[in-house]
Structure formats: C-alpha cells, structure tokens
A and B are shown apart, each in its own frame.
Chain A
Amino acid sequence: MSETKVKKMLFILSKGTLENAYAAFVMANGARMEGIEAELFFTFFGLEAIQKKKLEHLHVATVGNPAMHMPTMLGGLPGVEALATKMMKKEMEKLDMPPVSEFLEILSDSGCKLWGCKLAIDMFHLEREDLIDELDGILTIGDFYNRANEDGTHLLFI
C-alpha cells in the first residue's frame, strides 16, 4: 500500500453554499478515514454552516454558476434555487450523504477539529450560542496557522 505524504489537512470554508460546505466536509471526513488529521476553519459566509439556525438551510447557487446549465435569468427566479437545492439533497440522500448537522457531528466524533473565525464572528455579531455545540473554539487566523505544526500539513481554501 503506498503511503501518503499528507499528514494533516487544514480547510478554510469561506462560502455558504451547499456544494462548498459538502466539498469541505467530504474532504475532511475522507482525510480522517485515511488516518490523516483534519481541521476546519469557518469564516465569512462559511459561518452559515455552523450556525444552528442556518445550517440546514444552505442552498446550491443557481446564479453565476455556468455548470448548472441554466440561464442566469432563470436561476434568479423565485423558487428556482430552492428547487435545485431540493433536487441535489435528494441525490445526496441516495448516496447516503448525511445532512449538514449530522455531518458536523460525524466530523467532530471522528476527531476533526472545528473552528470559528474570530474576525468574521465579530463582524456578523454572532454569539457563541448561535454556533453549534461541537465547535472546538474561536480562533484568529494566526492561531489557525499555528495549527499547521507538522511536516506534511496542507491548507486548502474553499
């Protein structure tokens, strides 16, 4: 079996769309499953994914996304984004992909650290209780860089 040189993955989730959140979650979980350490840092709109009231309402972006193969004007009509999101969630359920809250729980139980970005939390006037219980803490970006404390650490911005 070839041994990976990646020892630790640090992800920064900066976007609040469903597809970006899942990209980060699947990669972080995949890392843990391979015996690689993983940590997630939620900043700016990525904070939507760890806000108790918002995390089950993430949407797929239908506007400004050429890969949706949908005219931009159509993507902007009321209800289109919700419909596209519903369809995508249905497909994900078929593959046994957990909903956002359960995925966060799985990640936390798997030893993946979950961090909130201090600056963005202050900017959006969020309190600790607005955020999921599994959150390991609130860090500055400097603190987060210090988490990259071993050889074979990689940072990924999503």
Chain B
Amino acid sequence: MEANPRSTGRLPAAFLTPGSSSFMDFLGDHSPDLLPGKRVLPPLQGAVEAPHGTTIVATTFPGGVVLAGDRRATMGNMIAQRDIEKVFPADEYSAVGIAGTAGLAVEMVKLFQLELEHFEKVEGVQLSLEGKANRLSTMIRSNLGMAMQGLAVVPLFAGYDIDREKGRIFSYDVTGGRSEEHGYAATGSGSIFARGAMKKLYREDLTEQQATTLVIQALYDAADDDSATGGPDVARRIYPIVTVITDEGYRRLTEAETSEIARSILEGRLTQPDGPRAALL
C-alpha cells in the first residue's frame, strides 16, 4: 500500500482499525518495509564501513539527570565527522544518546521519538519511563541481525521519572538487554575511560552545574585515551552536547554554556593534564 494515502483517496482500512497505540506495530502491519528491523540483508562479506559514533555519558544528580556526548564520528581510523550530534530528546522528559553505527542509530532515534509521541497522542497520556525504556529495548533487539554484521547500535537512555521524582539512566547491550544504572553510566568506545573518570568524580550530592562539569570532564578523559572520541575543539568551536532533564523537562545547554565549562576544564588541564585528583583514602 501507498505510504501516502492521498493517492488512494480515503484512509486505508488499516488507519481506521482500532488497536495498538504503538506506531511501530502500525508500521509493521501497514508498511513493514519502513521498519528498520524488518529489512532483509543481502549476504555480506566482511564488515561494512560506515561512520560510527563514539562516547556517551550520563550522570544523575538530585532532581534530574545529565546526558552528554562527544561530537566525533569515525570510520575505521578516519574521522568521518567532527560535529555529529548523538544526543537527542526522546520526548519532553527523556533523552537518548547513541553509540554505534551512526546512520542506523539516527533512524532508530527518529522512530523511537515517534513511537513515544504517537502513544502520547493516541492515548492522551505519556508512557511510563520504564515503558519507554522497554520500547527502546525492543528496537535494539530487532537490530540484532545488523549488529552481528558489525552494525550495532548501543544507546544510553536517560529520563526524569515523574512518579518517583528523580532522574534515571538505562544502559543497553546489542541484544536489547536493559539494565538500570545508578549514579553514572557510559557507552561507546571511550566508555571505559569515561566510566573510570566518573567513578572517581561522582558524588551523590552533585548540583546541576557540577553534574554538567562532571560529564564534560569524563568526555575529556575519554578523548584523552580513546582515539575515536573527540575532545572539545576550541579552534572550530565544537563542544560536547550536554542535555539536562529535570521536572521542568528536557533542556539542551547552549553552546555558550558548554563552551564556558569546556574552557574552564581546559584551563585546569593546562596545569594538571590528568584532571582533578581524587583523595587516596
């Protein structure tokens, strides 16, 4: 059937059939070819070269959660893009950051945003944060075939839980396995280094300002040791994307705000290249 029902005049029956509030279910019934997971892959020899997004970090603070990502996409040992955006709002109270195959990830996020919006419009209420996290899980699982050919997408999902009144972070693996992270989390190639940095810097009583500084510190450390992660690019004015979600909803820090934090971190690193030191005992 046509994606554009205007060519057939009236709305096709599938549009008027009462049923699921899920856009993915509707797409699966009506035009399955548009679903990323339903595509038949040609037999492949070896890995596919495509841009990969790298490091995403998140941390909670009392009253919300911060999700941030660096700006680099790599293809093999080449930098494919310097200013890619890998952190997106999922809806008003949640955001998703993606590491892995950039093209597939962006499509997945687009569908995920629509899935949440569609549910909200049809049902009149938002999905619970757990419900949103589970939908994302389903989407990653449907990409398993691609993931096994090296085109994995591994997101980090962060949101403000209105019922529990706190920020929460969910991490995923390629099979769609979902686990809630407490305090901080990272995904992507630089995640090992970022997680190490956050482990030493994280405290439970961070303010929003401190939490945003923490994630940029962690991204700096990731870029320091992982060639695929990009650090703050002062010359080109490319800074990490930092988003904050609180009970007031999603907010992306302006370039002025992130550049200020990034510059003060750079300033500190001029005297202490390894960043702030944690106490030994």
Physical interaction between A and B: no
